[in-house]
A and B are shown apart, each in its own frame.
Chain A
Amino acid sequence: MKGSLDVDLKNKIKTLIVENCDLDIEIADIDDEAPLFQRNSPLELDSIDALQISIAIQNTFGIAIRDSKEMRRVMTSINSFADHIQPE
Protein backbone atom coordinates (compact mmCIF):
# COMPACT_ATOMS: atom_id res chain seq x y z
CA MET A 1 0.00 0.00 0.00
CA LYS A 2 1.25 3.46 -0.87
CA GLY A 3 2.24 5.31 2.30
CA SER A 4 -0.17 8.17 1.62
CA LEU A 5 -3.04 5.66 1.80
CA ASP A 6 -1.81 4.05 5.03
CA VAL A 7 -3.51 5.86 7.92
CA ASP A 8 -1.54 3.98 10.58
CA LEU A 9 1.78 4.92 9.01
CA LYS A 10 0.75 8.56 8.66
CA ASN A 11 -0.31 8.69 12.31
CA LYS A 12 3.02 7.19 13.25
CA ILE A 13 4.82 9.92 11.28
CA LYS A 14 2.66 12.63 12.85
CA THR A 15 3.31 11.31 16.35
CA LEU A 16 7.03 11.24 15.61
CA ILE A 17 6.96 14.85 14.43
CA VAL A 18 4.93 16.08 17.41
CA GLU A 19 7.12 14.25 19.93
CA ASN A 20 10.49 15.08 18.42
CA CYS A 21 9.72 18.72 17.76
CA ASP A 22 7.95 19.23 21.08
CA LEU A 23 4.84 20.59 19.36
CA ASP A 24 1.74 21.61 21.25
CA ILE A 25 -0.77 20.16 18.76
CA GLU A 26 -2.98 17.04 18.46
CA ILE A 27 -2.02 14.70 15.64
CA ALA A 28 -5.65 14.73 14.44
CA ASP A 29 -5.19 18.42 13.68
CA ILE A 30 -2.34 17.85 11.21
CA ASP A 31 -3.57 18.00 7.60
CA ASP A 32 -2.09 15.29 5.35
CA GLU A 33 -1.76 17.65 2.40
CA ALA A 34 -0.74 20.88 4.14
CA PRO A 35 2.82 22.08 3.59
CA LEU A 36 5.06 21.20 6.53
CA PHE A 37 7.86 23.71 6.19
CA GLN A 38 6.77 26.63 4.09
CA ARG A 39 6.56 30.03 5.67
CA ASN A 40 3.21 30.35 7.49
CA SER A 41 2.60 26.61 7.27
CA PRO A 42 0.36 25.51 10.16
CA LEU A 43 3.12 23.79 12.16
CA GLU A 44 5.64 26.62 11.80
CA LEU A 45 8.49 24.18 11.31
CA ASP A 46 11.88 25.32 10.02
CA SER A 47 15.08 23.79 8.69
CA ILE A 48 16.35 22.71 12.10
CA ASP A 49 13.06 20.90 12.70
CA ALA A 50 13.45 19.23 9.30
CA LEU A 51 16.85 17.91 10.40
CA GLN A 52 15.42 16.76 13.73
CA ILE A 53 12.61 14.89 11.95
CA SER A 54 14.97 13.44 9.38
CA ILE A 55 17.21 11.92 12.07
CA ALA A 56 14.16 10.65 13.99
CA ILE A 57 12.93 8.97 10.78
CA GLN A 58 16.35 7.43 10.24
CA ASN A 59 16.49 6.14 13.81
CA THR A 60 12.91 4.78 13.68
CA PHE A 61 12.48 3.53 10.11
CA GLY A 62 16.10 3.06 9.08
CA ILE A 63 15.53 5.35 6.09
CA ALA A 64 18.33 7.84 5.53
CA ILE A 65 17.78 11.17 3.83
CA ARG A 66 21.30 12.12 2.89
CA ASP A 67 21.13 15.66 1.59
CA SER A 68 19.05 18.71 2.29
CA LYS A 69 17.59 19.03 -1.22
CA GLU A 70 16.17 15.53 -0.99
CA MET A 71 14.97 16.36 2.50
CA ARG A 72 12.98 19.36 1.29
CA ARG A 73 11.37 17.30 -1.47
CA VAL A 74 10.47 14.35 0.76
CA MET A 75 9.04 16.48 3.54
CA THR A 76 6.66 18.57 1.45
CA SER A 77 3.61 17.17 3.26
CA ILE A 78 2.62 14.19 5.41
CA ASN A 79 1.45 12.38 2.26
CA SER A 80 4.73 12.88 0.38
CA PHE A 81 6.61 11.85 3.48
CA ALA A 82 4.58 8.65 3.86
CA ASP A 83 5.07 7.79 0.18
CA HIS A 84 8.81 8.15 0.56
CA ILE A 85 8.92 5.85 3.56
CA GLN A 86 6.56 3.31 1.98
CA PRO A 87 6.51 3.68 -1.84
CA GLU A 88 4.08 0.81 -2.38
Chain B
Amino acid sequence: MYIHNHGTFVGRPVADMKYYKEDVSRYTRLHFRRANRFVLLSLAGACRCAHEQSIKKNTGVYLTTENGNLGDTETVLHQIFQMRQFPMPYNFINTMSNTASFYVAQSLELLGRNMTFSSKLLSFERGLELLHCDMVAGSVNEALIGGVDEASFSKTQFEAKFDRRYEDYNMVEGSCWLLMKKEAERAMGEISVVAAFADLGRLLGWIERQAFERPVFVAHGILVAPEDKKAIGRALPDATLFDPIGDIGYFDSAAASAVTHFLQRDGGACLIHVNKDTRGQFMAMRVEKY
Protein backbone atom coordinates (compact mmCIF):
# COMPACT_ATOMS: atom_id res chain seq x y z
CA MET B 1 0.00 0.00 0.00
CA TYR B 2 1.52 3.28 -1.12
CA ILE B 3 1.46 6.58 0.73
CA HIS B 4 0.64 9.56 -1.42
CA ASN B 5 0.11 12.24 1.19
CA HIS B 6 -0.31 12.79 4.91
CA GLY B 7 -2.10 15.29 7.09
CA THR B 8 -1.67 15.99 10.78
CA PHE B 9 -3.58 18.06 13.30
CA VAL B 10 -2.25 17.53 16.81
CA GLY B 11 -2.22 19.83 19.81
CA ARG B 12 -3.45 20.70 23.26
CA PRO B 13 -7.27 20.90 23.34
CA VAL B 14 -8.74 24.38 22.88
CA ALA B 15 -12.01 25.06 24.70
CA ASP B 16 -13.56 27.36 22.09
CA MET B 17 -14.94 25.34 19.20
CA LYS B 18 -14.62 28.39 16.94
CA TYR B 19 -10.90 27.64 16.79
CA TYR B 20 -11.63 24.32 15.08
CA LYS B 21 -14.38 25.67 12.86
CA GLU B 22 -12.11 28.42 11.56
CA ASP B 23 -9.36 25.92 10.93
CA VAL B 24 -11.60 23.54 9.01
CA SER B 25 -13.20 26.39 7.02
CA ARG B 26 -9.84 26.94 5.34
CA TYR B 27 -10.20 23.57 3.63
CA THR B 28 -13.90 23.06 3.00
CA ARG B 29 -16.79 25.27 2.01
CA LEU B 30 -19.27 23.19 3.99
CA HIS B 31 -20.16 24.82 7.27
CA PHE B 32 -20.40 22.49 10.19
CA ARG B 33 -22.95 24.00 12.51
CA ARG B 34 -23.70 20.64 14.07
CA ALA B 35 -20.17 19.37 14.35
CA ASN B 36 -18.70 18.55 17.72
CA ARG B 37 -15.06 18.36 18.77
CA PHE B 38 -14.56 14.83 17.46
CA VAL B 39 -16.05 15.65 14.06
CA LEU B 40 -14.02 18.85 13.71
CA LEU B 41 -10.82 17.09 14.78
CA SER B 42 -11.46 14.41 12.17
CA LEU B 43 -12.03 17.03 9.48
CA ALA B 44 -8.97 19.07 10.45
CA GLY B 45 -6.64 16.11 9.84
CA ALA B 46 -8.44 14.56 6.86
CA CYS B 47 -8.85 17.85 5.00
CA ARG B 48 -5.14 18.63 5.42
CA CYS B 49 -4.33 15.21 3.99
CA ALA B 50 -6.66 15.68 1.01
CA HIS B 51 -5.70 19.32 0.40
CA GLU B 52 -4.61 20.01 -3.18
CA GLN B 53 -4.73 16.32 -4.02
CA SER B 54 -6.97 15.05 -6.74
CA ILE B 55 -9.21 12.74 -4.76
CA LYS B 56 -11.43 10.34 -6.67
CA LYS B 57 -15.09 9.98 -5.73
CA ASN B 58 -14.74 6.30 -4.86
CA THR B 59 -11.95 6.95 -2.36
CA GLY B 60 -12.62 5.08 0.89
CA VAL B 61 -12.65 6.67 4.34
CA TYR B 62 -11.34 4.63 7.28
CA LEU B 63 -11.56 6.46 10.57
CA THR B 64 -9.87 4.56 13.36
CA THR B 65 -10.39 5.65 16.95
CA GLU B 66 -9.96 4.35 20.45
CA ASN B 67 -12.78 6.29 22.10
CA GLY B 68 -14.69 8.07 19.36
CA ASN B 69 -16.69 10.98 20.60
CA LEU B 70 -16.86 11.24 24.37
CA GLY B 71 -18.16 14.79 24.82
CA ASP B 72 -21.57 14.42 23.18
CA THR B 73 -22.22 11.06 24.82
CA GLU B 74 -21.66 12.68 28.22
CA THR B 75 -23.87 15.61 27.21
CA VAL B 76 -26.74 13.36 26.16
CA LEU B 77 -26.56 11.23 29.31
CA HIS B 78 -26.54 14.46 31.33
CA GLN B 79 -29.59 15.76 29.45
CA ILE B 80 -31.54 12.55 30.11
CA PHE B 81 -30.46 11.64 33.63
CA GLN B 82 -29.70 14.99 35.27
CA MET B 83 -31.75 17.56 33.37
CA ARG B 84 -34.51 15.03 32.83
CA GLN B 85 -35.12 16.24 29.31
CA PHE B 86 -35.04 14.84 25.82
CA PRO B 87 -31.52 14.76 24.43
CA MET B 88 -30.92 17.50 21.88
CA PRO B 89 -30.95 15.93 18.38
CA TYR B 90 -27.57 17.41 17.34
CA ASN B 91 -25.94 15.91 20.41
CA PHE B 92 -27.70 12.55 20.07
CA ILE B 93 -26.79 12.12 16.40
CA ASN B 94 -23.16 12.85 17.21
CA THR B 95 -23.05 10.14 19.89
CA MET B 96 -22.70 7.84 16.89
CA SER B 97 -19.06 8.45 16.09
CA ASN B 98 -19.40 7.45 12.46
CA THR B 99 -20.92 10.89 11.90
CA ALA B 100 -17.24 11.96 11.80
CA SER B 101 -16.30 9.61 8.95
CA PHE B 102 -19.54 10.71 7.27
CA TYR B 103 -18.64 14.41 7.44
CA VAL B 104 -15.17 13.64 6.07
CA ALA B 105 -16.82 11.88 3.12
CA GLN B 106 -19.41 14.62 2.69
CA SER B 107 -16.90 17.47 2.73
CA LEU B 108 -14.67 15.71 0.18
CA GLU B 109 -17.62 14.21 -1.76
CA LEU B 110 -16.45 10.62 -1.32
CA LEU B 111 -18.93 7.85 -2.07
CA GLY B 112 -16.71 4.83 -1.44
CA ARG B 113 -16.15 2.67 1.63
CA ASN B 114 -16.87 4.44 4.90
CA MET B 115 -15.72 2.86 8.11
CA THR B 116 -15.46 3.91 11.72
CA PHE B 117 -13.44 1.30 13.44
CA SER B 118 -11.72 0.47 16.72
CA SER B 119 -9.47 -2.23 18.15
CA LYS B 120 -8.24 -1.72 21.63
CA LEU B 121 -4.86 0.10 21.41
CA LEU B 122 -4.32 -1.28 17.91
CA SER B 123 -7.06 0.61 16.09
CA PHE B 124 -4.85 2.16 13.42
CA GLU B 125 -2.96 -1.05 12.63
CA ARG B 126 -6.13 -3.16 12.46
CA GLY B 127 -7.76 -0.45 10.34
CA LEU B 128 -4.87 -0.79 7.89
CA GLU B 129 -5.66 -4.50 7.72
CA LEU B 130 -9.23 -3.71 6.66
CA LEU B 131 -7.95 -1.30 4.02
CA HIS B 132 -5.47 -3.89 2.79
CA CYS B 133 -8.28 -6.45 2.50
CA ASP B 134 -10.36 -4.02 0.43
CA MET B 135 -7.39 -3.21 -1.82
CA VAL B 136 -6.61 -6.87 -2.42
CA ALA B 137 -10.29 -7.52 -3.18
CA GLY B 138 -10.23 -4.64 -5.64
CA SER B 139 -13.10 -2.84 -3.95
CA VAL B 140 -10.89 0.11 -2.96
CA ASN B 141 -7.97 1.59 -4.87
CA GLU B 142 -7.55 4.81 -2.94
CA ALA B 143 -8.36 5.69 0.62
CA LEU B 144 -7.99 8.17 3.41
CA ILE B 145 -7.15 6.40 6.65
CA GLY B 146 -6.76 8.25 9.92
CA GLY B 147 -6.44 7.89 13.64
CA VAL B 148 -8.51 10.39 15.61
CA ASP B 149 -8.90 10.77 19.36
CA GLU B 150 -9.76 13.46 21.83
CA ALA B 151 -7.23 14.11 24.58
CA SER B 152 -7.40 11.88 27.63
CA PHE B 153 -8.75 14.15 30.36
CA SER B 154 -9.10 11.64 33.13
CA LYS B 155 -6.03 10.86 35.21
CA THR B 156 -7.74 7.91 36.92
CA GLN B 157 -8.90 6.41 33.64
CA PHE B 158 -5.48 6.85 32.03
CA GLU B 159 -3.58 5.36 34.94
CA ALA B 160 -5.99 2.44 35.31
CA LYS B 161 -5.77 1.69 31.61
CA PHE B 162 -2.02 1.96 31.08
CA ASP B 163 -0.42 1.65 34.50
CA ARG B 164 1.63 4.75 33.60
CA ARG B 165 1.94 8.08 35.42
CA TYR B 166 -0.39 10.67 33.87
CA GLU B 167 2.05 13.48 34.70
CA ASP B 168 4.78 11.89 32.58
CA TYR B 169 2.90 12.64 29.37
CA ASN B 170 1.89 15.72 27.45
CA MET B 171 -1.78 15.02 26.77
CA VAL B 172 -2.81 16.15 23.31
CA GLU B 173 -5.68 15.52 20.94
CA GLY B 174 -5.08 14.59 17.37
CA SER B 175 -6.15 13.58 13.91
CA CYS B 176 -3.48 11.99 11.70
CA TRP B 177 -4.31 10.83 8.19
CA LEU B 178 -2.73 9.12 5.20
CA LEU B 179 -3.80 9.17 1.58
CA MET B 180 -3.15 5.59 0.50
CA LYS B 181 -3.25 4.17 -3.01
CA LYS B 182 -2.73 0.84 -4.62
CA GLU B 183 -0.75 2.65 -7.27
CA ALA B 184 2.99 3.15 -6.64
CA GLU B 185 3.55 5.89 -9.20
CA ARG B 186 4.30 9.29 -7.63
CA ALA B 187 4.04 7.79 -4.13
CA MET B 188 6.08 9.36 -1.32
CA GLY B 189 6.38 6.11 0.58
CA GLU B 190 4.67 2.87 1.47
CA ILE B 191 3.41 0.76 4.31
CA SER B 192 4.93 -2.56 3.37
CA VAL B 193 4.02 -4.64 6.42
CA VAL B 194 1.31 -4.61 9.08
CA ALA B 195 1.65 -7.74 11.17
CA ALA B 196 0.45 -9.09 14.52
CA PHE B 197 2.52 -11.25 16.87
CA ALA B 198 1.28 -13.26 19.83
CA ASP B 199 4.42 -12.51 21.86
CA LEU B 200 7.75 -10.71 21.89
CA GLY B 201 9.70 -13.72 20.63
CA ARG B 202 7.72 -13.87 17.42
CA LEU B 203 8.03 -10.11 16.92
CA LEU B 204 11.82 -10.36 17.30
CA GLY B 205 11.90 -13.26 14.85
CA TRP B 206 10.11 -11.08 12.30
CA ILE B 207 12.46 -8.14 12.88
CA GLU B 208 15.48 -10.36 12.34
CA ARG B 209 14.14 -11.44 8.96
CA GLN B 210 13.79 -7.84 7.74
CA ALA B 211 16.33 -6.46 5.29
CA PHE B 212 16.76 -2.69 5.17
CA GLU B 213 17.93 -0.45 2.35
CA ARG B 214 17.45 2.80 4.21
CA PRO B 215 18.41 4.06 7.66
CA VAL B 216 16.00 2.63 10.23
CA PHE B 217 14.06 4.45 12.92
CA VAL B 218 12.16 2.62 15.62
CA ALA B 219 9.14 3.92 17.54
CA HIS B 220 7.12 2.31 20.31
CA GLY B 221 3.51 2.38 21.47
CA ILE B 222 2.73 3.41 25.03
CA LEU B 223 2.45 -0.13 26.44
CA VAL B 224 5.74 -1.41 25.03
CA ALA B 225 7.68 -2.11 28.24
CA PRO B 226 11.32 -1.08 28.89
CA GLU B 227 12.48 -4.71 28.63
CA ASP B 228 10.60 -5.08 25.30
CA LYS B 229 12.35 -1.95 24.01
CA LYS B 230 15.73 -3.31 25.02
CA ALA B 231 15.12 -6.56 23.17
CA ILE B 232 13.85 -4.70 20.09
CA GLY B 233 16.92 -2.43 20.27
CA ARG B 234 19.20 -5.48 20.28
CA ALA B 235 17.39 -6.86 17.23
CA LEU B 236 17.77 -3.47 15.48
CA PRO B 237 21.24 -2.37 16.61
CA ASP B 238 21.62 0.35 13.97
CA ALA B 239 18.18 1.87 14.41
CA THR B 240 17.64 5.39 15.75
CA LEU B 241 14.98 5.84 18.39
CA PHE B 242 12.05 7.98 17.24
CA ASP B 243 9.82 9.13 20.10
CA PRO B 244 6.74 11.00 18.86
CA ILE B 245 4.91 10.41 22.15
CA GLY B 246 7.74 12.16 24.03
CA ASP B 247 8.32 14.82 21.37
CA ILE B 248 4.73 15.69 20.47
CA GLY B 249 2.48 14.22 23.11
CA TYR B 250 0.17 11.33 23.83
CA PHE B 251 -3.35 10.58 22.62
CA ASP B 252 -4.98 7.24 21.96
CA SER B 253 -4.29 7.36 18.22
CA ALA B 254 -0.55 7.73 18.84
CA ALA B 255 0.31 5.02 16.30
CA ALA B 256 -1.19 7.09 13.47
CA SER B 257 0.62 10.13 14.85
CA ALA B 258 3.94 8.26 14.79
CA VAL B 259 3.49 7.47 11.09
CA THR B 260 2.47 10.96 9.95
CA HIS B 261 5.18 12.62 12.05
CA PHE B 262 7.75 10.25 10.58
CA LEU B 263 6.57 11.26 7.11
CA GLN B 264 7.20 14.92 7.99
CA ARG B 265 10.90 14.13 8.41
CA ASP B 266 13.56 13.81 5.71
CA GLY B 267 13.08 11.10 3.11
CA GLY B 268 15.19 8.03 2.52
CA ALA B 269 14.29 6.35 5.80
CA CYS B 270 12.37 3.41 7.19
CA LEU B 271 10.23 3.32 10.33
CA ILE B 272 9.51 0.22 12.37
CA HIS B 273 6.62 1.05 14.69
CA VAL B 274 5.96 -1.49 17.41
CA ASN B 275 2.73 -1.40 19.37
CA LYS B 276 1.43 -3.58 22.18
CA ASP B 277 -2.03 -4.09 23.65
CA THR B 278 -3.26 -5.04 27.11
CA ARG B 279 -3.36 -8.70 26.08
CA GLY B 280 0.39 -8.70 25.46
CA GLN B 281 -0.10 -8.91 21.70
CA PHE B 282 2.32 -6.97 19.48
CA MET B 283 1.72 -5.32 16.15
CA ALA B 284 4.40 -3.94 13.87
CA MET B 285 4.16 -1.52 10.97
CA ARG B 286 6.95 -1.06 8.49
CA VAL B 287 6.82 2.36 6.81
CA GLU B 288 9.19 3.50 4.06
CA LYS B 289 9.69 7.12 3.13
CA TYR B 290 11.34 7.36 -0.28
Binding site for B on A (CB under 8 A): 20-23, 48, 51-52, 55-56, 58-59
B88 contacts A48, C-beta separation under 8 Å:
no
Does B153 touch A at the CB level, under 8 Å? Answer: no
CB neighbours of B90 from chain A (8 A):
48, 52
The answer on a CB contact under 8 Å between B88 and A52 is: yes
Q: 3 tightest A-B contacts by CB? A: A51-B89, A22-B33, A52-B89
Judged by a CB distance under 8 angstroms, whether B290 is at the interface is no
Whether the pair B88, A22 counts as a contact (CB closer than 8 A) is no
> 1/0 per residue B75-91: CB within 8 Å of A?
00000000001111110
Provide the bound-state CA to CA distance between A55 and B88, in Å. Answer: 6
Residues from chain A with a CB closer than 8 A to the CB of B33 are: 21-23
* B residues near A59, Cβ cutoff 8 Å: 85-86
The dominant DSSP class at the B interface is loop
When C-beta atoms are compared, the residue in chain A nearest to B84 turns out to be A59
A58 and B89 contact, CB distance less than 8 A: no
Are A58 and B93 in contact (CB-based, < 8 A)?
Answer: no
Contact A55 B34 (CB under 8 A): no
State in angstroms the CA–CA spacing of A48 and B90 once bound together: 8
In chain A, what residue has the closest Cβ to B87? A55
List of A residues within 8 angstroms of B93 by Cβ: 48
5 residue pairs from A and B, CB less than 8 Å apart: A48-B89, A48-B93, A52-B88, A55-B89, A56-B88
Interface contact tally, CB-CB below 8 A: 23
CA distance in complex: A58, B89 (Å)? 12
A53 nearest CB neighbor, chain B only: B89
* Least distance between B246 CB and chain A CB atoms (Å): 38
- Shortest A56–chain B CB gap in Å is 7
Q: Which residues of B contact A55 (CB under 8 A)?
A: 85-89
Chain A residues with Cβ below 8 Å from B86 are 55, 58-59
- Chain B contacts of A52 at CB under 8 A? 88-90
The CA of A56 and the CA of B89, in the complex, are separated in Å by 9
- Measured between beta carbons, the chain B residues less than 8 angstroms from A23 are 33
Residue numbers in A under 8 Å from B85 (CB-CB): 55, 58-59
| A56 CA / B88 CA spacing, docked (Å) | 7
Would you call A20 and B88 a contact (CB within 8 A)? yes
A60 — nearest CB in chain B belongs to which residue? B85
CB closest residue in chain A, given B35: A22
- Cα(A40)–Cα(B85), bound, Å: 32
A22 to B86, CA, bound (A): 19
Residue of chain A at shortest CB distance from B33: A22
Bound Cα distance from A88 to B93, whole angstroms: 36
A34 to chain B, nearest CB (A): 19
In the bound complex, how far is the Cα of B34 from the Cα of A23, in angstroms? 10
Complex CA distance for A25 and B14, rounded to whole angstroms: 24
How far in angstroms is the closest Cβ of chain A from B95?
A: 14
* Nearest chain A residue, comparing its CB with the CB of B31: A24
Residue of A nearest to B79 (CB): A59
* Interchain CB contact under 8 A, B89 and A22: no
From B93, which residue of chain A is reached at the shortest CB distance? A48
Chain B 134-151 near chain A by CB (<8 Å), digits 1 or 0: 000000000000000000
